[in-house]
Structures are given as structure tokens and as C-alpha cells.
Structure 1
């Protein structure tokens, strides 16, 4: 028995797939809405006896390895390592590809950078400005820790020097998106090979996948400055449009509630969670993507959109409704009344906000109401 077969023999495909979409017993099998195409009637079947899946709508089929490679975009080795970790199988040494080696290095860099930023926020004098900013906005320390918030210090090469001193090369740090190449005409003195920190004097939000792995970052200014939010660029491990902020924290709550409260901003997520609303995630801006919709559709049957009440928020809500509806997700809209965003609502009236979620209107009532304004 090779290692793939050993791992496969210890994995339950139903347990793995149920972490991505709701399943219902259908005789000896399990059924659910296919995560690989849009449908409203379940045609995605899983056989516990044969440990395989098949969609009779789009034709996708395979075993647990095929499913994870398709849904997560992983290579075979990544899938094997993840499943081996879950079932306690120790893998033999292997010769990784250059692509997998780079991704592994970038994951190490991102994890270490997140630890660095978090330490500065929670324990270092340099992070006092960020601590006071969070407290002023009503966000308490347990929430900083839950979402691994951090602080990037002022200065041009703090993160760069921290990472190079720990053995990472400048090209690899540059590939992670944490540093930016200088203009040739730059007069800023440097011993860093022509690079400077991307994030400087900003509150840091680690951007994680659903398993809690740090893939990128968003940095927010705490005073006057543009852009208000600065994101990591696309890298071999990070794509902004494929992640939902707070999903790693909210995932189990979403499965329990069979519902996601979808907001726009990161502070909306922090305030909602602090108020006891655990099944909340953010689209990190107004543009909901197909990849984000697919993730939500795999986790729950209902998404309650709770976007800002300005024109941009209304337009984003309409786009989100269309995408979610096409994906077969039950869509509701949370009314914010006189408040501009969930963060403001929660700070003023927590019970009112929770009540608004319970009273979320269906999309037809929303369209009628918004048309009459």
C-alpha cells in the first residue's frame, strides 16, 4: 500500500465534503448542491461505501483527492499533506517542485510577518498608536487576538530587515508582496538591494484562507492618508478576490446557523463578532466575486447581505444578490435603517442590529423597497 492509499483508507470522504457544503442522507448515499456548477436541485452524490463522489449535473467525479484538488486549487502533494495531517500519517521525504518550494517559502514568510506585526500591536511600545486607535473604535483586545491583528511600524525597512535577519532572501520576500521595488531615481538610502516595506505605520489585517493560513495582508491608515486600505498584490499564494475576511473564525458558526451574514468592511466583522454575531464575514470591499460566492454556497444555504447604505453599497448588494441567486443560494438583505454601516449600527444599538438580521427581507421585498426610495 503506497502512502496515498494509506491516507485514503483512513479518510472519510463524507466528513471532508460536509465541511464544504450541507449534505443530506439519500438512501445509502449523501446528496448536496454541486459546488462546481450552479444548480437548485441536488445532483451531487457521495457514496460512503465506495468513497467517491459524482455530480449527475455537470459530470464532475472522483475521490477525496480529486475533490480537494478541484475545490481548493491544490496540487496533489498539497492535498496529500493536508489529508495526512488530518489522519496522523507521517509522509516520507519527497523532492518538491520549484513551484511548491516557492509557495512553502512564501507561506513561511507570511506566517512570520504576521507574528511580527501581531507582537508589535499587542506588546511593543511602537504599537501604542494602533492600540489606542482600536480602543477608540470600540474594538477590545480579545478581538485583536481572535483575528490576529497587527501593526506595521513607520520606517522604510523594518519588516524587510526582520525577515532577512531570519534567513529569507530579498527575492523571496519581494515575491511575498511585503516589499516594493524602489524607483531607480529614489534618493532614500538603502542597504536592502533596492526594496522597501509595503506596509508602513498601518493597522494590519492578516488575510487568511478558511483553514487560518495567512496568505496576504491588508493595512489600514489610522489618520489622514491614501489609500485607506492597502492590500498585498497577487502572489503565488494570494488572490484578493478568492478570500473572505474572517471566514476562518466564522466557518463553524456558519455551518451551525446554515447562514452567513455578509458585510463589506473588516471593522463590520470585528464589531459584529464582538457583539456575539459569529457567522459574519466580509467581502473586503464592495465587489463580491464568483470565487467568494462559491465558498459561501459550499458552507450554507442562506446569505444575508448587510452592506453599507450608500449608493456604492446598494449597487454592491444588487450585484451580490445576482451572483448568489445564480449560484442557487437563498439571499436575504438586512436593513440598516438610519445607520450608514453595520459597525455604526452595532455601536449604537446591538440588540437592534441582531433583530435586523432575524428580520432580513427577501430579495423581492428589497427591490420593491429600494425602488420606492
Structure 2
């Protein structure tokens, strides 16, 4: 069965779930005035800045700007999808949800995916029991304990051991009625040219790989000797895509969200050692470079990504690739330089979590990391060395979209290379021309006033909360009088909703608003007045209109003065415009 939710049903579910009650199950709230306040669960704070307005069903954090309704809260807090959060609230309010019959093909596809999940979970139990309950797993268990892992962390990560046998798993599973085809598809077994099916993982410590919901979708296996490959991953299939997964994200996302920071490492043991010592905002890519899909996983949880890769050749290459993909994104990015060629696993075990976190605190920005690395590898006192350093960092600078930042990087190269700034800029232009490189361009700025007046906030709060208020604002107030670009775009979307004839509800507004507009809707609902009153709205309309007219009068007066001084006859037209605006000011006053 699949779920279909229309706006009326969503509105009904939201109305049936008091947002204060929903959030209070996770956050301690205290009533103050018309709202409830508490410490935000999405960032660390000691003074409450998280506000919930029960009448309108919205929350807003004045610290980290998290916002939304009860559905958004559960999505963010529990890492749920929209349908999952809605189903949770529907069940909480005993509201039955409609179902739509799936086609035979859809039912077959879903059933097959469920079989894959179940086989992987059975394999997880099989490997874990081999590790913890049999003689076969003693060497694997000794290895993990020698790495300092506790029994609790071994159980939490469901670590296991694949026996040194060609077909022990195959025989155990087929005896339970599991088809060889499923075992091959999940990657637990392979089929040789002679048709014989054999275990894919043998004599390896096993690391189950989970998706964001904690379902096992694949495995990584590590040898205990010098045989190769050192690590072996499950082949990709319909439920396992390495580029879309981060190892331990299902266990780390809460800590990542609380700290607003994700520490990205290379290997399974790097992650597990960190978690074992209490550093739980750590994840790893699965034997692949960091991808944009990984970024989408982290984007709702973190503001900063700290790269803590090994400083060997492969680690350096992975760090550079991650820097490239993270450049010009919403993330703040820093890079940890691991000392003495150690990896995070070694460092955490030998020096402790506090020392590792101290390294994270000292992590440098990508430009500084790339420059320092190049200065170590090349002799910057001779011409060839200087040129090599420049060619190492120029690609990063060229890919920087912010022109001011780009020029700052170029100036920063002058001192360590003992070059004058003009020479650095000349070499950079030559680099661009030689490689036919086009500078990354910054998106056109969205010109707007940084902060609207309290009158405009109050006016917009009433406008989105009531269709009658919206219609009154549109009748008397030109949209150009609204200073905030997000408010102007919201008015455009409200015009679409009004023309459609659909019921004026917050659910309908959220359906047409983009993310920025929806966040602003939440903020306005938290700070806005309780209800629409025509007389109060008129006060705000007048205040916003007069402010706009006075700004216009000032601009035209300045222009008229400038034209008059320049002897341009157009100053007469500007004076006439000033008189018209003054008349409007008198009328509105």
C-alpha cells in the first residue's frame, strides 16, 4: 500500500496534534506570554531561544533559525521523511490514512526489496554470532578488542566475522530456504564460472552498512593479515548505492545536528574508534570519494563539515576531491592535518578523544590546507618551486565564486612565496589563459534590505494568516513598498493561491512556498499578532506605506539636487515627482 495525502488531510492531521504536546515529548517547554519557550534541540544553547506558538502551530528558533510545524519538527528531530512524519502524527491522533492499491509490478518490486533487507539482517546476525559466540570468530574478536573497542560498541555497530570457509554462510542460508539468487544479488555470495555458488566474504571482520533508517543494506569486510584487498565492500544493488550513503550516519545524525558539525573520515575503524571514545558526530564515505549526494544527506543536519582524512597519498587525494565538491556550497569547510602520518583511528586510540577534538578545533580552511601542503612539498625559494605551488592552489582559487575572496587568496600567496602581489595576479591570468579556465561566477546577489521593520513583519504575519488581510493589503499597498524580497515573493505566491480558489490554509501556503518562504512563514507566525483585526492591519499598512513614500521622496530630492548642480534640466521633472510624493504623504498621514 502507498499513501496519498491531500492538503485537507494534512491540515486535519496538524489540527489534531497540538504542536506543544508533540514537541514537549522531546523538548522541555515553558509558557511565557502567548508562546512556549525551550532550549533548541537543533543546536547547543543555554538560554532558550526556541519558541512555539500553539494557536498557529509553528515553531521558530531565534538562534539557528530552525522553523516549521509539527511535521517539520518530527522530520528534523527523528530524521523522518514527510510521509513517515505524517503517518506518525496520524497514528498519534488515531486518524486513518487512505491507501491506494499498488500495481502488481509495484507490489512485486517492494516485496523483493524487503527480501533483500531481510537477508542482509539475517547475515548481520550470522556474522555477529560468529564473532561473539563461536571459536571461528575468536581471532576477529581479539582484533577488535586490541583496537580498544568495547563490547557495547561492537554490539551497537553489529560488528561480525565471516568464517574462513568457502560456503558456510551459503549452506546455512540455503538450508533455511533462502534462494541462491538472493544471496548472489545481495553480494553475500558469488557464482563461479562452473556454476558453483560460494561465500563472498571469508576470514574478515565484518562491518554492516546501514541506510539512514538503520536498515542493513550492505557490508564491508576487513582482512586480519596482509592479504589483499584489505577492505572488500558489497557490490551495489537496488538497495545499496555507495555514493548515496555515509557509514554510521544513522548513528551519528543526532550528534551532527546538535553540534551542527559533521566530521568526515575515510574508514570504518576511524568512525567506530571515534564513536567508541564518545566523539559521535563522525561519518565516513564507503570507499568512494565524497559526493554531492553525501552533501544532501548532511545539509539538513550540519552547518560545517570537517575533513579528517589520512595524510597519505590516497587520503590527500580524497581530501582534495571533497574540498572541490564542498566549495561554493552552504557548508563551512575545514581540514584537519593529522600529525605524524596517523589516521583518526590511531590518533583517537593513542591520544584520546580530547586530543582529537583539539585537532578538529585547530582545523584550517581549505585554502590554508592546500597552500601549506604545497609549501611542504615544494621548495618555494626557487622559481620552479614557486610555480609548482601556484599551480597547486590556482585551480581552487579559480573555482571560488566570490571575487573578493578570490582576490584575497591571491594576495595571501605573495608573502609565503616572496613575490609581489602584481606578479601573483599576472601568473594567475596566465594560468587562466593557458588552461582555458573560466572563473567560477557568483550568483547574482538578491538585492534587498537586510531587515524589515517591525510594522512590515506584523503586516506580513496578518497577511499570510488571513485571506481577508491579504486582500486588504493588496487593495491599498503597492507590492514595491515591501522591502524584503522574500516577502515580495511570498505575496506573489499568495496571489497564485488566491486566484486558484483553494482554501486559504497554512498547508496550502506551504505547498506553494519554497524553503526560504516557508521558514519565513514560520518566523512570522511565531512573532506575529494573535488574530487579524482590520483596524490594526490598517495601522501597519499606513506605517509601511509612509515609510516607503518618505524613502522615495528622499531619493528623488537627492537626485533633483544632483541634476540641478550638474545643470541638467531633468531636475525639474524630479522636483515635480517630489511634489507628487509629498501630496501622497500628506494624504496617507
Distance 1:45 1:348, change over 3 A: closer
1:34-89 per-residue CA deviation (whole Å, 9 max, x = no partner) reads xxxxxxxx9x997639x79xxxxxxxxxxx99x9xxx99x998x898788788887
TM-superposition CA deviations, 1:176-196 (whole Å, max 9, x none) = 22111121x47xxxxxxx311
Q: TM-score, structure 1 length as denominator?
A: 0.76
1:48 is aligned, of 55, 66, 69, to 69
Aligned to 1:292: 294
C-alpha RMSD of matched pairs (Å): 3.9
Q: Which residue of 2 aligns with 1:356?
A: 359
Q: Which has the higher contact order (CA 8 A, sep 6+)?
A: 1
Report the equivalent of 1:367: 370
Q: Are 1:173 and 1:179, in contact at CA under 8 Å, matched by a contact in 2?
A: yes
Of 350-359 and 245-254, deviating more is: 350-359
CA deviation after TM superposition for structure 1 residue 136, in Å: 2.3
Alignment-derived partner of residue 242 in structure 1: 244
Mapped partners of 1:172, 1:119: distance in 2? 21
Q: Is the 8 A contact 1:204 1:218 kept in 2?
A: yes
Determine whether 1:319 maps to 2:329.
no
- Distance apart, 1:321 and its partner CA: 1.4
Tell me the equivalent position of 2:445: none
Instruction: Report the 3-state secondary structure (helix = DSSP H, G, I; strand = E; otherwise coil) of the residue aligned with 2:238.
Output: coil
SS of residue paired to 1:204 = strand
Partner-residue secondary structure (3-state), 1:119: helix
Offset at residue 307 of structure 1 (A): 0.4
Deviations 1:259-301 (A, max 9, x none): 0111101111111112221111111335111211211222100
Unmatched segments (≥5 aa) in structure 1: 33-41, 53-63, 187-193
Q: Which residue of structure 1 lines up, in the alignment, with residue 544 of structure 2?
A: none
Q: Which has the larger radius of gyration?
A: 2
Structure 2 Cα separation of the partners of residues 243 and 110 of structure 1: 16
- Corresponding residue for 1:180? 190
CA distance in 2, matches of 1:90, 1:354: 48
> For the residues of structure 2 that align with 1:84 and 1:105, how far apart are their CA atoms?
28
* Equivalence for 2:282: 280
Return the offset for 1:231: 0.9
Partner of 2:254 in structure 1? 252
Q: Distance in 2 between matches of 1:354 and 1:75?
A: 34
User: Would the alpha carbon gap of residues 211 and 365 (structure 1) be closer, same or farther in structure 2, given more than 3 Å must change?
Assistant: same
Q: For structure 2, list consecutive stretches of 5 or more residues without a partner in the other structure.
A: 24-39, 45-49, 377-589
Aligned-partner Cα distance in 2 for 1:324–1:303 = 9
Q: Does 1:265 align with 2:273?
A: no
Spell out, residue by residue over 1:123-160, the C-alpha distance to the aligned partner (whole angstroms, 9 max, x if none): 22211010111122232322211211011112122212
Contact 1:21 1:297 in 2 (8 A): no
CA gap 1:220/1:300 in 2 versus in 1, 3 angstroms:
same
Query: 1:115 — aligned with what?
Result: 125
Deviation per residue, 1:248-268 (Å, 9 max, x gap): 111111111110111101111
Cα distance in 2 for partners of 1:323, 1:284 equals 16
Over 3 Å counting, the alpha-carbon distance change for 1:158 and 1:3 in structure 2 is: same
CA contact (8 A) 1:121 1:128 kept: yes
The structure-2 alpha-carbon separation of the partners of 1:31 and 1:214, relative to structure 1 and needing over 3 Å to count, comes to: same
Measured at CA, do residues 330 and 92 of structure 1 come closer, stay the same or move farther in structure 2, by a change above 3 Å? same
Q: CA deviation at 1:164?
A: 2.1
Question: What's the CA shift for 1:211?
Answer: 1.9
Larger deviation, residues 199-208 vs 278-287: 278-287
Distance 1:88 1:112, change over 3 A: farther
The answer to whether the 8 Å contact 2:336/2:364 transfers is yes
Tell me which protein shows more strand as a share of its residues: 1
How many angstroms apart in 2 are the aligned matches of 1:225 and 1:209? 29
Cα gap change, 1:347 to 1:91, in 2 (>3 Å): same
5 Å matches for 1:21-32?
none
